[in-house]
Amino acid sequence: MLTDSALKVGADHLRRDAFLYVRQSSLRQVFENTESTKRQYALRERAVALGWPIERVHVIDSDLGLSGAQARDRDGFQHLVTEVALGHAGIVLGLEVSRLARNNADWHRLLELASMSSTLILDEDGVYDPASFNDRLLLGLKGTMSEAELHILKSRLQGGILNKARRGELELPLPVGLVYDGAGRVVLDPDRQVRDSVAMLFAVFRDLGSASAVVRRLQIQEVMFPRRVRRGIGKGDLLWGTLDVSRALQILHNPRYAGAFAYGRTRIAFNAQLRPVQREVKQQDWPVLIRDAHEGYIDWAEFERNQHKLRQNLGFSAGERGSMPREGNALLQGRLLCGKCGCRMRVHYEKLSGQLRPYYCCTEEAVRRAGKPCQRVHGLAVDEAVAALLLQTVAPAAIEVALAVQDEIAQRIEQAGVRRQAQLERASYEAELARRRYAKVDPDNRLVADALEADWNQRLRELDHLKREHERQQQDEQAQLDAPARQRITELARDFPRVWSDSRTSALERKRMLAMLIEDVTLVAGTSIAVHVRWRGGRTQSLCVDKPRPIALIRKTPPDVVKLIDELLGSSTDTQVAARLNELGHRNWRGESFSQKKVIVVRVAYKLRSRFERLRERGMLTGDEMAQQLGVSTSTIHELGRQGLLARHLYGNNHRCLYEPPLGGQLIRGAGGRHGGRPARFIAAPSTT
């Protein structure tokens, strides 16, 4: 007598292949729950009992160790769905519904395809035909129960984890510098070099206020930073290497260094490609935050100050005031507030005369509400006024600042020396350890002996390199602390304005010096620019800066210079006028000396009569006109002019002149000719006075 399961299997099903899907949720289950895996593989015997040859029973086990919560990344399940959709599968075998899918969307999609292709589904309880309403209803209920089971399991696990986290007893991976002791308590790393390295990072950030600046200083001082291997071979081992900005930010953002226990700092979300990614959660939304849960490197107040500073360093997008100094020659970048709307003002650069000139603009209204910008101020005048105020305020205290700088340099050098000495001690220990390993090996075992000898030699080379670098750094640092260096610092402090104006002082360094003393600056543009400076500590000062003149007024030649040019043109050429102006110390709007072309430009712009026009008004004649009047050639007139027999007046170069008309006199012709003779002469008439 045929069973109900056998009655559902027809010839059309047997003509197609059988597919057995095998899955375990994790690799740990694959290795530990071996009995479940054996039960799944045993379903091949069920397929053979229903009439399928063993060679046509295909096992899909490529998804072992993958969760069934979703179909993505499960290549085996995707392959199974493809075979069902193409009508190649007569039956799909699985130990239970949860092995095939834990998601109703994936499960019902498989049922729909199986119903359309007349594919049977078999589990441990029996055979089901998705085309049958009763069987499909039962399979749907099993899928819902499978999804609910996963939800219940996850809820229980998450509830237990959260409850343990609320008590602060949940063991989470600790960052470098913190470890668990024998009683499970969080303590500082017993390795002194590790502790000192982490403490130094927070101390340097306390001074510089920037993660990038911290990394640059540690790289300059050649200080190595520790990290621990989290997984794989060598898990828990301590490695030393250079610090990058990403790791520095991770350390600065981690509340464990402030002695706080935090849980739920990140959550799983899905991106546009529906792939799970980690998203940061704001501090006020953390499920668990227990302050002073264990010993830390900084206190909670300093941790919050660090977070505030890091948000400021993000720039304009963070909406914070006083960002870190960046590129560009705008002195007040990141510290300007609009006096009309209270928002931060941005910096805009325009190229003028080959140089980038800063403009401070408030674009909040235009960007947020498509309105008009509040105000736009030329930056040079404001920068100069604030710089002058800063120099006037800082100069009396410059000596004290210089002494503080010397002490800070000495302290910094001492700390760097301690770090490098610790690195030398660790390298020496590792070299000695490699020597001991090599000494204990059997000399006849050359494979092991050669490897240990090579490791010993490598440790010795690293130790020698560190020693040479340590000696070089010591020499460089001693040069920074010798008497001449201290004297130079003191001299520079006495002449702080010269240091500020020195071309070797970069704009970035000026902005850093300004940020130490000035909190922010508020601008209000009107007929003049009102500048309100708020110093560190709360003291305020106000300035009034004249607006820069328009370029048309800047280029305009002063009236007294125009008047002088007009007077000089009565007796001088353009070249002579330029020479006279330079003798008197006059310059154009760019500070350049005058030339013939510049005088011509001024003369044309102000419609002054030229030297030629003035001479013509006085009745002067050209060479051609004089030759026609006297009845000689033009060359004869020029020759008489060069000899001084005819009065001439220059209006250009030596070849551009006009002649005074003769009032009388006699022109005596010479013999002329190519071979010489007496030249023509002009005898002026005797005076009648």
Helix, strand, or coil here: 666?
Answer: strand
Tell me what pLDDT residue 412 has.
65
Burial of residue 22, with CB atoms counted within 10 A of its CB: 0-12 exposed, 13-18 middle, 19 or more buried = buried
Q: Which residues are CB-contacts of 225 (< 8 A; sequence separation ≥ 6)?
A: 197, 201, 218, 240, 241, 242, 243, 247
Q: For residue 662, what is the DSSP state?
A: P
Q: Which residue has the tokens 């914070």?
A: 320
pLDDT score at 676: 45
By DSSP bridging, strand 89-93 and strand 120-123 are: parallel
pLDDT at 318: 41
Cα distances (Å, whole numbers) of residue 181 to 96, 178, 190, 294: 45, 10, 10, 12
DSSP-assigned states of every residue in 252-277? HH-GGGGT-EEE-SEEEEE-TTS-EE
pLDDT for the residue 299: 92
| Spans of the chain below 70 pLDDT | 1-6, 274, 315-327, 353, 369, 394-415, 419, 444, 446-448, 474-496, 537, 654, 663-689
- Sheet order of strands, 355-361 included: 346-352, 355-361, 376-378
Catalytic amino acids?
Answer: 25
d(CA 481, CA 157): 60
Q: How far is CA 239 from CA 246, 451, 550, in A?
A: 17, 21, 62
Output the six-digit token pair for 505: 């002082």
Query: Is residue 414 within 8 Å of residue 538, measured between CB atoms?
Result: no
C-alpha to C-alpha distance for 362 and 523, rounded to whole angstroms: 10
Provide, for the chain, the percentages of residues in helix, strand and coil under a 3-state DSSP scheme, each rounded to the nearest 5.
50, 15, 35
Give 646: exposed, middle or buried? Use CB within 10 Å, 0-12, 13-18, 19+: buried
Q: DSSP characters for 358-423? A: EEEE--HHHHHHS---S-EEEHHHHHHHHHHHHHHHHGGGHHHHHHHHHHHHHHHHHHHHHHHHHH
Q: State how far the Cα of 564 lies from the Cα of 610, in Å rounded to an integer.
A: 14
What is the model's pTM? 0.54
Give yes or no for a contact between 310 and 253, defined as CB atoms under 8 angstroms apart. yes
